[in-house]
Amino acid sequence: MTEYEKMLHNLPYDYTDKEVQANILRAYYAMRDLNQCGAWDMDELHRCIHALIPDAHPSVIICPPFHCDHGNRISIGEGSMVNFNGVFLDGGGITIGAHTLIGPNCQLLTPDHPHDYLERRRTIETGKPICIGDDCWLGGGVTVCPGVTIGNRVIVGAGSVVTHDIPDDVVVAGNPAKIIKKNE
């Protein structure tokens, strides 16, 4: 199994591998084009989004600037929107449902590095997927940690850090994010 295939299967992989780096470079050029798009040219914006994130629904809006590792490890559903300064480290895969709003300065972070400091010196990481359901709203500055699943119709308060799975139909906030009420 190649290092890239290991990444696709969320196994430990060497992120300095040539095939992995080639995919990152492809994303870099697509991201550069997206980040130079003007908001007034929606056709060009959608073309740039699709070039970076082939599995984004045609109705998705991403407000530049936007940063990611690969782009092709992200899936975004119909009617969803990512506001300015999104950072999606997507080696582990990121799935965002339909009609979900991601506020400015949000970070979705899938890489998980070894916890042993000697192992961390190696260029090995594991991606843990992030899944965000339909009809969610992540306020500005939210961070979602590796391996987290957020259910449907969840509101995450601005500045929160989501470190564990969140069930459907709740409002969470804080660091770490905790349920503060049920959605009505």
The pLDDT value recorded for residue 39 is 67
Residue 137, pLDDT score: 98
Give the pLDDT of the chain (184 residues) as one tens digit per residue.
999 999 999 999 999 999 999 999 999 999 999 999 876 788 999 999 999 999 999 999 999 999 999 999 999 999 999 999 999 999 999 999 999 999 999 999 999 999 999 999 999 999 999 999 999 999 999 999 999 999 999 999 999 999 999 999 999 999 999 999 998 7
Active-site annotation holds for 113:
yes
Q: What is residue 183's predicted lDDT score, i.e. its pLDDT?
A: 80
Residues ≥6 apart with Cβ < 8 Å to 111:
89, 91, 92, 125, 126, 127, 146
The single residue of 46, 113, 115, 164 carrying the catalytic annotation is 113
Task: Give Cβ neighbours of residue 17 (< 8 Å, ≥ 6 apart).
Answer: 2, 3, 4
First to last CA, the chain: 48
> Which residue intervals of the chain are DSSP H helices?
3-8, 18-35, 42-52, 117-120
- Domain of residue 78, residue span: 3-182
**What was the pLDDT predicted at 184?**
72
Tokens representing residue 96 in the block: 């965002």
Are 178 and 162 a contacting pair, CB within 8 Å?
Answer: no
9 DSSP assignment: T
CATH of the domain at 120: 2.160.10.10
How many domains is the chain built from?
Answer: 1
